[in-house]
Amino acid sequence: MDNQKLIEMLPPVTDANRAFWEGTLAGELRLQYGDSGRPRYPESPVDPVTLGEDFTWRAASGRATLWSWIVMHQKYFPAFADEIPYLVAFVQLEEGPYLMTTLVDPPEHLECGMPLEVVFERVGEDRAIPKFKVVPA
């Protein structure tokens, strides 16, 4: 995969999401918490429950379950041109939020509800992408 093309597809690092990206480089999947106490992803300037503007970032457990997936056979993004077909997974983090990602070394047979754990792929100087792998039974 062309990392430069992939980096160009990622959102820019901003004050609002810097803690998330710094967490990925440190091997942590970080979620934003507002005064309602509920985790949220992606980041938001206000708590969706209370509309409060104060928040903190906390490391998530890194555990998730496979909610759904699709295998892409079309070339929609230049960064993935050499990766066709590729898997897009929709996972639910143990803390509640959902995340679109991919699976590392997926088994031949996938099932909704499979337990997963986060891994990180470094793709640049200031970026690592969270991906997930199936936890063996």
Task: Determine the Cα angle at 104 with ends 99 and 107, to 5°.
Answer: 110
Res 46: pLDDT: 95
The 10s digit of each residue's pLDDT in 7-60 is 888 889 999 999 999 999 999 999 999 999 999 999 999 999 999 999 999 999
What residues make up the domain containing 57? 3-134
Domain count for the chain, please give it.
Answer: 1
pLDDT of 2 higher than 70: no
pLDDT of 5 higher than 90: no
* Residue type, position 39, single letter: P
Strands 63-72 and 55-59 come out as unpaired
Contact 57, 31 (CB under 8 A): yes
Rounded Cα distance between 88 and 85, Å, is 10
